[in-house]
């Protein structure tokens, strides 16, 4: 293994030598791996059919000849060819079997840093011997395991806090003197405030890697004043790490083990540098290949002359950060909610004709309200038990708590908008 470089001006900054290589060397290595991944993928039923008419890939531009695989495609194909829709063979080869909202089923492997998050964590100063407080959910979804594996690959000890009661989390933070945090940015604020209110001395956290939510300027300022160095990364349950911050510019360095395209969602073709399009990612791994996976997220590549990030010699592609969604799906408190889940909600509650989920921010936290319209029933005629059932089913389908508000019949216009994100 090549020896890592350490920036002498900032000894906390760990840099993988692959991040410093020339663009020609990077493209040659990635193209070689891509060919192997595609050859291997053709042995799986889904890709054998999808790639049947596609010739050998000789360049990155040839990727555009392949179809884009989207999250909705996974939701559609997995029930017909369980468990993974023909993307991978026998599920017994996987070490973990996850279920994300959708539902989407994903495998996980105990290979060191399978999701590659260690690179992002190191950029935030995580190092061997750190005590990491991990607040992503360990239940069914991969989020916590993505950062758990990366932390352990570095040599950190991990507190698997998940969604445990906040009093227990505060106790564990002080008992173990956890100096690092992974989780959503808004919950980090909640934890810091709870630690401060506990009056047990200085908050142990000095560094954090956040994801799954907006790291707003207000939150950055709060964390800076709290003495916590916070960076964010861009990752998904299916793909693992995609890109990560190396400073607070908001721009992100692309991971070395994925190929990122920014495409026009309508044509599937790449857009020019600087133009906003959908992020499409190909993972360079053979155990669970995802080739041209459409994230539904919007971003753009940053031209060198517009790069603000302190790259310390890194030469990889730079993303402008998260610039919205290409569809109505929205990430709330680290979890995606899609229109299909709300359609399922309506189908399972008798008399529930139409819903609309409205997302906003309150005190630097995501706040959601589910507006419900019952079929031919005035608001006052609907029993409280119905509201409780709606809230409970929403939590089961979306893994989130919400407030529920009934509106009069005819209030929610059928304009196709099921999710309204006021944060944008």
Using the CB atoms, write b or e for 146-179: b if 16+ within 10 Å.
Answer: bbbbbbebbebebbebeeeebeebbebbbeeebb
Alpha-carbon gap, residue 370 to 392, rounded angstroms: 12
Coil/strand/helix, residue 409:
coil
Task: Quickly state the pLDDT bin for 418 (edges 50, 70, 90).
Answer: confident
Asked if residue 328 has pLDDT above 80, the reply is no
The boundaries of every CATH 3.40.50.12780 domain in the chain are 5-328
Structure confidence at residue 7 (pLDDT): 43
pLDDT for 64-73, tens place per residue? Answer: 999 999 988 9
- CA 363 from chain centre, in angstroms, equals 22
Residue 6: pLDDT band (50, 70, 90) is very low
| Sequence-separated (6 or more) residues with CB below 8 Å from residue 255 | 116, 119, 120, 241, 242, 243, 244
**pLDDT band at residue 12 under the 50/70/90 scheme:** very low
CB-CB contact of 171 with 197 (8 Å) = no
Q: Which CATH superfamily is domain 332-421 in?
A: ANL, C-terminal domain (3.30.300.30)
**365-374 and 352-362: which strand pairing?**
antiparallel
User: How much of the chain, in percent, has pLDDT values that exceed 70?
Assistant: 95
In the chain the first and final C-alpha atoms are separated, in Å, by 43
CA–CA separation, 243 and 239 (whole Å): 11
Kindly report, residue by residue over 183-201, the tens digit of the pLDDT.
999 999 999 999 999 999 9
Q: Is residue 320 over pLDDT 70?
A: yes
Residues 6+ apart with CB under 8 A from 146: 115, 117, 136, 235, 237, 240, 241
In the prediction, which pLDDT does 377 show?
66
Please name the residue that has the structure tokens 């409970």. Answer: 392
State the CATH architecture for 5-328: 3-Layer(aba) Sandwich (3.40)
Q: How far apart are CA 21 and CA 315, in angstroms?
A: 7
Locate tokens 């019952």: which residue?
374
């Amino acid at each position: 293994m090549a020896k890592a470089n350490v920036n002498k001006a900032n000894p906390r900054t760990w840099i993988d030598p692959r991040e410093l290589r020339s663009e020609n060397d990077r493209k040659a290595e990635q193209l070689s791996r891509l060919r192997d991944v595609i050859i291997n993928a053709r042995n799986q039923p889904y890709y054998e059919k999808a790639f049947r008419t596609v010739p050998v890939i000789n360049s990155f531009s040839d990727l555009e000849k392949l179809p884009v695989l989207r999250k909705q495609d996974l939701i559609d194909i997995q029930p017909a060819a369980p468990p993974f829709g023909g993307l991978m063979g026998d599920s017994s080869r996987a070490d973990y079997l996850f279920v994300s909202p959708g539902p989407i089923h994903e495998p996980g492997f105990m290979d060191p840093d399978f999701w590659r998050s260690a690179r992002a964590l190191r950029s935030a100063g995580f190092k061997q011997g750190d005590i990491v407080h991990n607040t992503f959910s360990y239940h069914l979804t991969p989020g916590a395991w993505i950062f758990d594996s990366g932390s352990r690959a570095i040599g950190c000890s991990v507190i698997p806090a998940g969604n445990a009661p906040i009093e227990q989390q505060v106790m564990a933070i002080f008992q173990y003197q956890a100096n690092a945090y992974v989780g959503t940015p808004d919950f980090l604020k909640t934890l810091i405030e709870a630690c401060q209110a506990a009056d047990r001395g200085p908050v142990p956290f000095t560094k954090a890697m956040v994801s799954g939510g907006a790291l707003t300027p207000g939150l950055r300022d709060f964390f800076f004043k709290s003495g916590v160095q916070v960076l964010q990364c861009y990752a998904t349950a299916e793909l693992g790490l995609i890109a990560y911050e190396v400073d607070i510019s908001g721009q992100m360095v692309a991971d070395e083990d994925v190929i990122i395209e920014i495409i026009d969602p309508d044509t599937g073709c790449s857009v020019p540098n600087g133009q906003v399009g959908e992020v499409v990612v190909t993972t360079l791994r053979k155990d669970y290949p995802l080739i041209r996976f459409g994230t539904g997220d919007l971003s753009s590549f940053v031209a060198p002359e517009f790069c603000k990030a302190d790259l310390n010699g890194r030469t990889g592609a730079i993303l402008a950060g998260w610039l919205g969604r290409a569809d109505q799906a929205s990430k709330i408190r680290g979890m995606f909610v899609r229109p299909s889940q709300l359609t399922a909600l309506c189908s399972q509650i008798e008399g529930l004709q139409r819903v609309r989920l409205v997302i906003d921010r309150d005190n630097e936290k995501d706040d959601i309200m589910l507006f419900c319209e019952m079929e031919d029933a005035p608001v006052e005629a609907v029993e409280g038990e119905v509201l409780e059932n709606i809230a409970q089913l929403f939590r089961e389908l979306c893994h989130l708590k919400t407030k529920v508000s009934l509106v009069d019949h005819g209030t929610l216009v059928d304009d196709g908008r099921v999710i309204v994100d006021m944060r944008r």
